[in-house]
């Protein structure tokens, strides 16, 4: 976006929402970072996120968005302190910020930027967060709360944390990349490749999150012997994993593997599908006509390659289809509310399908030893195995990276030893 005199203009979302020259923004960020007193685990940063947590946890508007309630819980002071305490260094080692962290965020998971920003800010860094131009009621509400909290925060925090939007153009990314000590790119292969056209300093680091896909494994026998309370918990967890973020997050399961005998797996599929449909109706989850048509078109297109054994259900808020046993792992996004089933005899059969692009496995009905055996059987194991319902739960280790360690650096301190 060009401003007066040809300068690149960004929309600053917080603090102090306004239009700002990117060159001026870069200069002010660099100046603020040079004078920043923030350190790793700084109490002033904890206070910022504690205030945001309180606003999200008490707002009646936030209750309309389950992802924001989860975010408020994540940002509790006790939770953040727990993350900080995980990073333990050796004697003679101190942990310090890396400096300016420039983060480019995706459009498909509205609240992801707060999680990534929180870990970088907790490490004491100055942050410039570039948000997608796509907005939504949830994003707008969240940004309003962040702007309020930043405006009320300690000045050394508000001056070092900037949230902006600008159109996709290399010149703008060049300006902010040039001042970055760390550049973080979320958003898939294409975004990573595009951003890499903008150079960073030789001493800067880059942390990238390219395309990833995920799936679930469920023991058919585990479902068959489960009591009603357990079945309700599994159903609620599946709905959270599948319906949040339009099933488009990298950790959203796109294939549901039922492991066990064919007859038992078929019965479990029908029962789980019916339970999910009932839960969706209970929660009042609905989609507009465009999403319904998207799912319909993509689902029927998926049948052309012969991978689909049957389409068992095609409703407004849910579709259910079963893959042929010999078909490859489904990694295509078919639209939110897609239950894509595959029946396999053993976990090792699933392991044979895993590639380096697979990130999260949500599971039910297997014990820890079985899961460890599954990981050992994978040629390129995924980075997360979590219970059903926790696929979208963000943590300090993501995609195999410990974020607090990535966003901080070790200072080695050795004292003088008298040679006498």
The answer to whether the CB of 321 falls within 8 A of the CB of 302 is yes
Look at residue 4 in the predicted model and tell me its pLDDT. Answer: 38
Query: Tell me, what's the pLDDT at 114?
Result: 97
Query: How many CB atoms within 10 Å of residue 264?
Result: 17
Among candidate residues 140, 143, 130, the one with its CA nearest the CA of residue 194 = 130
- What token pair was written down for 359? 């990130």
Name residues of the chain where pLDDT drops below 50. 1-6
* Domain ranges in the chain with CATH number 3.40.309.10: 213-396
Q: Residue 332's CB: how many other CB atoms inside 10 A?
A: 15
pLDDT, residue 328, reads 65
- Structurally, at CATH architecture level, domain 8-211+399-412 sits in 3-Layer(aba) Sandwich (3.40)
- The total of other beta-carbon atoms located within 10 Å of residue 402's CB is 15
185-193 — which CB contacts under 8 Å span 24+ positions? Answer: 185/104, 185/209, 186/103, 186/104, 186/105, 186/106, 186/112, 186/116, 187/104, 187/105, 187/106, 187/107, 188/106, 191/104, 191/106
The alpha carbon dihedral of 162, 166, 169, 171 has a sign of negative
> What does the pLDDT read at residue 313?
87
Question: Which class is domain 213-396?
Answer: alpha beta
pLDDT at 47: 98
pLDDT digits (tens, 9 = 90+) for 73-91: 999 999 999 999 988 888 8
Question: 396: closest CA among 126, 119, 124, 113?
Answer: 119
H or E element at residue 213: strand 213-219
Length of the chain, in residues: 420
d(CA 118, CA 404): 10
CB 356 within 8 A of CB 380: yes
Res 380: pLDDT:
85
Q: Model's pTM, two decimal places?
A: 0.90
E strand map for 283-329 = 308-314, 319-323
In the chain, list all ranges with CATH 3.40.605.10. 8-211+399-412
H helix and E strand count, the chain? 16, 18
Buried b (16+ CB within 10 A) or exposed e, 4-30: eeeebbbbbbbbeeeebbbeebbeebe
């Amino acid at each position: 976006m060009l401003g007066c005199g040809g300068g690149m203009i960004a929309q600053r979302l917080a603090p102090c929402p306004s239009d700002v020259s990117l060159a001026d923004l870069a200069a002010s960020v660099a100046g603020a970072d040079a004078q920043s007193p923030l350190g790793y685990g700084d109490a002033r940063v904890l206070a910022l996120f504690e205030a945001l947590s309180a606003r999200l946890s008490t707002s009646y508007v936030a209750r309309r968005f389950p992802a924001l309630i989860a975010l408020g819980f994540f940002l509790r002071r006790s939770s953040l302190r727990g993350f900080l305490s995980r990073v333990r260094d050796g004697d003679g080692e101190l942990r310090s910020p890396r400096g300016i962290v420039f983060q480019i965020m995706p459009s498909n998971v509205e609240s992801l930027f707060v999680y990534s920003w929180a870990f970088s800010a907790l490490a004491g860094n100055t942050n410039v967060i570039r948000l997608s131009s796509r907005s939504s009621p949830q994003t707008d509400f969240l940004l309003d709360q962040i702007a309020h909290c930043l405006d009320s925060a300690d000045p050394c925090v508000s001056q070092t944390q900037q949230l902006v939007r600008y159109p996709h153009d290399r010149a703008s990314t060049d300006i902010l990349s040039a001042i970055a000590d760390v550049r973080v790119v979320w958003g898939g292969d294409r975004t990573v490749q595009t951003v890499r056209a903008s150079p960073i300093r030789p001493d800067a680091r880059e942390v990238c999150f390219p395309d990833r896909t995920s799936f679930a494994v469920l023991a058919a026998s585990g479902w068959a012997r489960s009591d009603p309370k357990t079945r309700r918990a599994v159903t609620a967890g599946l709905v959270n994993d599948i319906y949040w973020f339009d099933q488009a997050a990298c950790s959203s399961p796109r294939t549901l593997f039922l492991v066990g005998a064919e007859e038992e797996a078929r019965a479990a599929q029908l029962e789980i599908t019916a339970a999910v449909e009932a839960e969706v109706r209970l929660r009042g989850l609905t989609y507009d006509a465009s999403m319904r048509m998207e799912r319909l078109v993509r689902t029927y297109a998926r049948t052309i390659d012969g991978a689909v054994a049957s389409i068992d259900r095609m409703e407004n808020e849910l579709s259910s289809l079963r893959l042929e046993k010999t078909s490859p792992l489904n990694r295509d996004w078919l639209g939110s509310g897609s239950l894509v089933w595959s029946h396999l005899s053993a976990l090792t059969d699933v392991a044979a399908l895993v590639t380096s692009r697979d990130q999260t496995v949500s599971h039910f009905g297997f014990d820890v030893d079985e899961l460890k055996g599954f990981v050992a059987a994978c040629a390129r194991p995924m980075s997360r195995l979590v219970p059903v319902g926790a696929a979208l739960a963000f943590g300090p280790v993501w995609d195999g990276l410990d974020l607090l360690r990535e966003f901080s650096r070790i200072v080695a301190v050795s004292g003088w030893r008298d040679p006498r």
